Amino acid sequence: MRNQPGRPGGPLVGVRIIDVTHAAAGPYASMMLADLGADVIKVEPPQGELTRFAPPFLPEDHERFYGGRFANRNRNKRSIVLDLATDEDREVFLQLVETADGLVENLRGGVLDRLGVGWDACRARNPRLVYAAIRGFGDARTGASPYAAWPAYDVVAQAMGGVVATTGPDAEHPLRAGPLVGDLVPGLMAALGLVSAVLHARAAGEGQFLDVAMVDAVMSLGEPAQSSWDYLGRDYPPSGNALDDVTPFDVYRTADGHCAIAAPTEAMWRLLCTAIDRPECVEDPRTATNAARVANRVLVDEIVGGWAATRTSAEVLEVLGGQIPVGPVYRARDWIGEPHVVAREMLVPLEHPHHRTTTTLGCPIKLTATPAVLYRGPPRLDEHGAELRAELAARHQPQP
C-alpha cells in the first residue's frame, strides 16, 4: 500500500463518484472506490456529515475538524458543502452529477427525491449515471419491503440477517459481532454493484439504479444456517468459537493469551498429534475420526487446550505454524510490527496538514498493475468546495 500525497492510483482512476453518505455503510463503500482511484466527491450539508465531529479525537487536535472514525472512512475524498434545500446548491449538485459515473447514498428512502435530486432527477441530467442506494430494508424500486420506511443500524441488520442468532456461546446468549458487519458488508456489496454497473454503462451507454438492503447483505453471509434449516430442518446453533460438526476448531487459551487452532481433517489431526507429542491420539477410537472427536469434544479440548495452555502464543505458533491452521488472537495494538501486517501493508501512515500523522487501515484489495494508493487524508468540511465550483464553472464556459 503506497502513501503518495496528491497522486491517486488504482484501476478506477478516471471514474468519478458523488458521495452523499453518512455514518458507516455509505462512507465505507465510497472509501473503497476512492482507495482504488476513483475521484470521490463528498457532498456534505452545512453542518457536516453525521460522524464528522464524533470522537475519538487526537488529544492535541484542538480544532477538531473530524474524528477518527470519519477520518478512516473518508480518506482520499474531496468535500463540498451544498445545502440541497436551496435552488442554487441543488443546481450545483446536478451539475456535479452530469460529470459523474456513479453516485452513492445511504439516506432514508425518499430524502433526496423530496429535495429534487433523487434518482429520477439525476437520471434526467445524466442517463449514464449509476445510482447506488444503501438502506436498511432496500428501496421500493427493486422490491417493496413492508419495512422500507423503517430506519436501521448495524445491530438491526445483524439481528434480522441472522448473525446475532448464530454468534455467542449458546442460544440463550446471542451476540452481535464486534465489527460493524451490518454496515460494512452492505458497503462492500454496494461498491461491487456500482463498479459492475459502471462497466455496463460504459459499454451500453445506459446507467441504472441499484440498491443494497443492509439486512439482505447480512443474510447473504448465512449459508450455514440456511443450509442446516433447508436440508435438515434444524437451527444452526451458536457455538462460541467452535463449530458443532468438526473439532478441534476453536480458540484455546495460551500462557499469555489465546490462539485459534483448527485441525478438522484426518490428515491435519495426525499432524497435530505429532506436533504436540500425542501420537497415541491418532489411533485412539475416541479421537481417530472427526465423528469420534465431535462425540468426545471435551476430551479433544483437554488434549489440545491442555497443550496450548502451557505455552505462550509465540511458542504455539513456532510449533504449529506452517503445518496446522493456527493464529493468535490479536488486538489492534498487536498489529503493529506484525510480519504479515507489515508485508501486506495493512497499516499505512497517513499525513494530515493540521495534526500529527495517524495510522489507518490499508486497502485489502491488492492489485499488481494498478495498486490502490492512499494519497489524500480526510477532508475538512468544504475543503474542496471552491476547487470543485471552479471546475464546474470552467466546464460551462462557452468554447471559442
State which amino acid sits at residue 60: E
Listed residue (106, 55, 99, 44) closest to 77, CA to CA: 44
Output phi, psi for 211, to 5 deg: -145, 155
User: How far does CA 50 lie from the centroid of its chain?
Assistant: 18
Distance CA 64, CA 68 (A): 10
Q: Tell whether the torsion through CA atoms of 230, 234, 238 and 243 is positive or negative.
A: negative
Listed residue (83, 85, 89, 95) closest to 124, CA to CA: 95
Q: Is the distance from CB of 194 to CB of 104 less than 8 angstroms?
A: yes
Residue 242: count other Cβ atoms within 10 Å of its Cβ: 17
Is 113 a catalytic site residue?
Answer: no
Distance CA 337, CA 367 (A): 23
State which amino acid sits at residue 29: A
Q: Which of 35, 89, 139, 183 is catalytic?
A: 183
Distance CA 298, CA 229 (A): 26
Question: Would you call the peptide bond into 169 cis, given omega within 30 degrees of 0 as the criterion?
Answer: no
* Residue whose C-alpha cell reads 487459551 in the numeric block: 253
* Alpha-helical runs (H) found in 99-162: 111-114, 119-125, 154-160
User: Strand 326-328 to strand 258-262: parallel, antiparallel, or no bridges (unpaired)?
Assistant: antiparallel
User: How far does CA 398 lie from the centroid of its chain?
Assistant: 43
Containing H/E element for 79? strand 77-81
Q: From edge to edge, which strands make up the β-sheet containing 326-328?
A: 249-253, 258-262, 326-328
Long-range Cβ contacts of 331-334 (<8 Å, 24+ apart): none
The residues annotated with a catalytic role in the active site are: 183
